[in-house]
Amino acid sequence: MSPEDAVSSPSTGWTEGWWRGARAIASPHHGPRPPGTAVDLLVLHSISLPPGRYGGDEIERLFTGRLDCAAHPYFAGLRGLEVSAHFVIRRDGELLQFVSCDRRAWHAGASSFAGRPNCNDYSIGVELEGLEGTLFSAAQYAALARLLRELAAVYPLRAVAGHEHVAPGRKRDPGAGFDWARARRDVALAGLGWPDAAGPS
């Protein structure tokens, strides 16, 4: 079922992994999760295209396979890339959803968490519009807190990590500009593990 055909449940706001609180933009870059896999990790990323430029539709175009790689010199390195995330949170707090949370989005790449490889298999990927090392907006923290509470009501989340934690040495996002203590306070979900300065808890 496409997100356009989905009829949200009045009790949870979810239909087949799509949340009615997000604007649906279906990406082709996903696949099935391994049978019986518990979706228990959320991976936070940051993205801006080109780096440091906000507000355009380039992220949407990348995640849906429609980015014009001739439009900017930086985009040349993205040619042929098939990537997505479940959600993107824009600077103003707008929430976009590209892949059903019941499906495996292609966001983490080579990765592992708590000794388990292939984080895409069991995680939900959330991209924050931003640049690693710079600050994120209050609207983004508020949207993330709401999204995490909604996800935790439907999926057995037990931890949150950054891309930098599940792919250390290869990735650095969301980076030093992301306030993990603030996010943890805003969400305040008992039993949910969060990173500290040394890495995931």
Annotated catalytic residues are 127
Half-sphere exposure of 169 (CA within 13 A, CB side): 3
Q: Running DSSP on this structure, what letter comes out for residue 33? A: P
Question: Which residues, listed in sequence order, are joined to residue 87 by a DSSP beta bridge?
Answer: 97, 126
Q: What share of the chain is helix, strand, coil (3-state, %, to 5)?
A: 20, 25, 55
The encoded tokens of residue 186 equal 């805003």
The encoded tokens of residue 167 equal 């792919």
Rg (alpha carbons) of the chain, rounded to whole number: 16
Question: Which residues, listed in sequence order, are joined to residue 96 by a DSSP beta bridge?
Answer: 23, 88
